[in-house]
Amino acid sequence: MALLTNNMGRSFNIPLIALVLVIGYVFFSTFSGQTGFAAASCSGNSILEVSPNKVQVGEPITATVKGLNNCLGQQVLIKEDSDLCNGQIVASYKCTTANCDNKVTFYKGSAKQYALTACVDKDKDGYLIEQGERSTSVLTVTELPDLKVNSITYSIPPKNNYGFTTKIELANIGVRDTTDVNALFEVITQDSFNRATVVASKKYEDLKILQGTTLTLITPQVTLTKGDYIVKVTVDQTNLLQENNELNNVLQQPLIIG
């Protein structure tokens, strides 16, 4: 315990640890006022990350800012079409960690290319001119169909010299209706020299697949003999349509006739 005397001559005791804290506070306040020393402030160079950077209209977009330190509670604004942070706010969040690496999700309703800028007023002076307070990333938003071959199934388990039909399910997982779609069904075999031969095929034209729907096709009956085959279906086989994803237009699977 420490003994102190007030201005009326009376003495009282206070815990020693409290006295140490008071003295330390007075010393820190005096020292910082004379030297400019202060607690660590928000620092670092902001780096805006947008994921994915190519989306369809209405799909979720996630933004986060990396590269910051000691920024707990700092406000992050995501603005569009101005690298000087003068544009419209499309999203914002408050840093819940010192590194400010939490995320915000937003959506865009128009198809275009956006320049997004993360704006972080690190020193809270009302200006965004200091190094590392702005970071820009490009976002591409499209409004396209996306054709996909969902599945290939058979009316019966294929057997030697037994006829069967094939059911094909096509889908449009994009955000726009599409017409004049073509599709190609093929059954392929290979000889010992890996030379491919198409033993059965059917081409479909002028198909219409609305956004978010599927279309089922039934092929003519096929009869195969013993051997190894590949059943292949290609939608937009002539590549006439611009799509969001061109890599899901083909589905093929092995077929063994015993």
Q: What is the pLDDT of residue 221?
A: 97
- Burial class from Cβ neighbours inside 10 Å (0-12, 13-18, 19+) for residue 245 reads middle
Residue 31 pLDDT greater than 60, yes or no: no
pLDDT at 11 over 60: no
What's the rounded mean pLDDT across residues 192-221?
96
Sign of CA dihedral 87, 91, 94, 98: negative
In the chain, which segments carry CATH 2.60.40.10? 147-257
The pLDDT score that the predictor gives to residue 191 is: 86
* pTM exceeds 0.95: no
* 189, pLDDT greater than 50: yes
Q: How far apart are CA 1 and CA 17, in angstroms?
A: 9
Q: Assign 3-state DSSP to the chain and report helix, strand, coil percentages, each to 5.
A: 10, 50, 40
Domain with CATH 2.60.40.1930 in the chain: 43-142
The pLDDT assigned to 12 comes to 46
H helices present in the chain, as ranges? 16-35
Q: What is the pLDDT of residue 13?
A: 52
Q: Which long-range contacts (CB under 8 A, 24 or more apart) does 80-83 make?
A: 80/114, 80/115, 80/116, 80/117, 81/114, 81/115, 82/115, 82/117, 83/115, 83/117, 83/134, 83/136
Question: Is pLDDT above 90 for 2?
Answer: no
Q: Is 26's pLDDT higher than 80?
A: no
- Please give the pLDDT value at position 25: 46
- Please report which confidence band the pLDDT of residue 82 belongs to, taking 50, 70 and 90 as the band edges: confident
Are the C-beta atoms of 95 and 72 separated by less than 8 Å? yes
What pLDDT is attached to residue 23? Answer: 47
Residue 27 has pLDDT above 60, yes or no: no
Above 80 in pLDDT, residue 32? no
Spatial contact of 243 and 144, defined as CB atoms under 8 Å apart: yes
**Omega cis (within 30) before 157:** no
> Residues 88-118: pLDDT tens digits?
999 999 999 999 989 999 999 999 999 999 9
pLDDT of residue 192: 82
Q: 43-142: which CATH number, 3.40.50.170, 3.40.630.10, 2.30.30.240, 2.60.40.1930?
A: 2.60.40.1930
* Alpha carbons 50 and 118: distance in angstroms, whole number: 10
User: Region 171-181: what's the mean pLDDT?
Assistant: 95
In one-letter notation, the amino acid at residue 149 is: V
DSSP 203-238: EEEEEEE-TT-EEEEEPPPEE--SEEEEEEEEESTT
Residues of the chain with pLDDT > 90, as a percent, come to 77
Q: Give tens-digit pLDDT for 55-67.
A: 999 999 999 999 9
Per residue in 135-171, pLDDT tens? Answer: 999 999 999 999 999 999 999 999 999 999 999 999 9
Average model confidence (pLDDT) across the chain? 88
Q: Tell me which fold the domain 147-257 belongs to.
A: Immunoglobulin-like (2.60.40)
